Structure 1
Amino acid sequence: MPYDSAATRSRLLDAAYDEFSARGLAGARVDRIAAEARANKQAIYAYFGSKDGLFDAMLAVRMSSLADAAPFTPDDLPAYAGALFDALQDNPDILRLTQWAWLERAEVTPAEVESHHSKAQAIAAASATALTETQAMDIFILVLSLCTAWTTTAPALQAVGDPNPTTRQATHRAAVIAATAAVVGALSA
């Protein structure tokens, strides 16, 4: 069977997703990733340069898929908040990965800075009032916080015996959308 480098790279990224989301950057082991991907450990270094490079590549791929699942709509942030909330519920490991990155790395990457900066600029441009980029960034950060809060608090609600987690999740989603609309309205006034 001929060697397929694209397939090997893809398997490594998938295995890295599982390993890094479960154990973080420090706890992940390239031996486990290579074994899970049915690849030689040296392939990780050949394709990605290092374990950190693999983490960065895997996170970029997953964040891109999140962006596809929840396209950014600066002119309708409540709809974006609902879509992002849904995408995070469908892919909770993405949030876990970003939390690992925040815990294990002191600085944000240039790509993260650019992503947040461009979103703030788009929010400011789409605003009916003259929002500053700082106000637009505040709105964006609040939307992210609202969308991620459920994923981090839902296990505690389930632990204390939330009688209907599905209904509670739908109620929380509606609250995220309403709160986003209120934040946009308050900061845009």
Structure 2
Amino acid sequence: MPPDATATKKRLLTAAYHEFAQFGLAGARVDRIAEAAQANKRLIYVHFGNKDDLFDLVVANSLEDLAKAVPFTADDLPGYAGRLFDYLLDHPQVLRLTGWSQLERPDAPPAQVDAYRPKIAAIADAQQQNLVTGAVAPADVLALLLGLTTAWANASPALRSLADQPPWDPDRLRTHRAAMTAAARALTALPPSTSGNGDTGQPRTALTP
């Protein structure tokens, strides 16, 4: 009976996750991944193809894990932003992996594109239901929301050093989280109805001056 490869594949994926998060695609070494997984290097190519394929799989798996842990709620985008902020604090490797992916794999793999499609569709549906402002296109809503969520992690260390408390102090993070979710609420809120100018607060599909 052939040996079960499941445990070996799991060890290789875990080792690759940490290797790619630390060194990126170009800096990662297959030898180190195999050594950390206590596996033969040849098995990486047998199970996953080349190093680029393994990297794409690791990134896709990390985003899938994130989506399962933090379900997307288009009817409560500020709440989603807060939960995503918490998850990324606990899993900083995810941000590092996506950062490396943007630098080294600028042509997004189809799996990553497909991961965004239902979120964009959900935002569009929420706009039609007057739950989210329609003054901003759905893709822009999501891009701005993710930018707010990751702003502190992606801010310059020089800027973070000027905070009123140590930048990663739990109290400081709570303060930033509250400010971030307030900004997300302002971003996604319906515009107030204005009498006399024909603006009823209904969804629109583009920015207006």
Tell me the TM-score normalized by structure 1.
0.90
Higher share of residues assigned helix? 1
**1:75 partner SS:** helix
Shift of 1:63: 1.0
Could you say which residue in structure 1 is the equivalent of 2:183? Answer: 179
Q: 1:120-177 CA deviation, whole Å, 9 max, x = no partner?
A: 1111102233977x71111111111111111123854664575342211111111111
Deviations 1:1-45 (A, max 9, x none): x83311100000100011001100000000000000000001100
Q: CA RMSD in A?
A: 2.4
Decide which of 169, 172, 176 is 1:168's aligned counterpart. 172
Cα 1:187–1:8 shift into 2, 3 Å = farther
Distance in 2 between residues matched to 1:175 and 1:154, nearest whole Å: 18
Partner Cα separation in structure 1 for residue 112 and residue 191 of structure 2? 24
Q: Distance in 1 between matches of 2:181 and 2:160?
A: 22
Rg larger in structure: 2
- The offset of 1:90, in angstroms, is 0.5
In structure 2, what is the equivalent of residue 153 of structure 1? 155
User: Unaligned 5+ residue runs, structure 2?
Assistant: 193-200, 202-209
Aligned to 2:43: 43
Distance 2:133 2:121 in 1: 9
Counterparts in 2 of 1:93 and 1:162: CA distance versus 1, 3 Å: farther
Q: Distance in 2 between matches of 1:125 and 1:38?
A: 48
Letter in 2 for 1:121: A
Cα 1:115–1:187 change in 2 (3 A) is farther
Q: What is the distance in 2 between the residues matched to 1:179 and 1:131?
A: 14
SS of aligned partner of 1:76 = helix
Match of 2:74, SS?
coil
- Look up the equivalent residue of 1:125 and give its one-letter code: D
Letter in structure 2 aligned against 1:175: A
Q: Choose 53-62 or 12-21, whichever is displaced more.
A: 53-62
- Answer yes or no: is the 8 Å Cα contact 2:60–2:112 preserved in 1: no
User: What residue number does 2:66 align with?
Assistant: 66
- Which TM-score applies when normalising by structure 2? 0.81
Q: 1:24 to 1:142 in 2, by over 3 A?
A: same
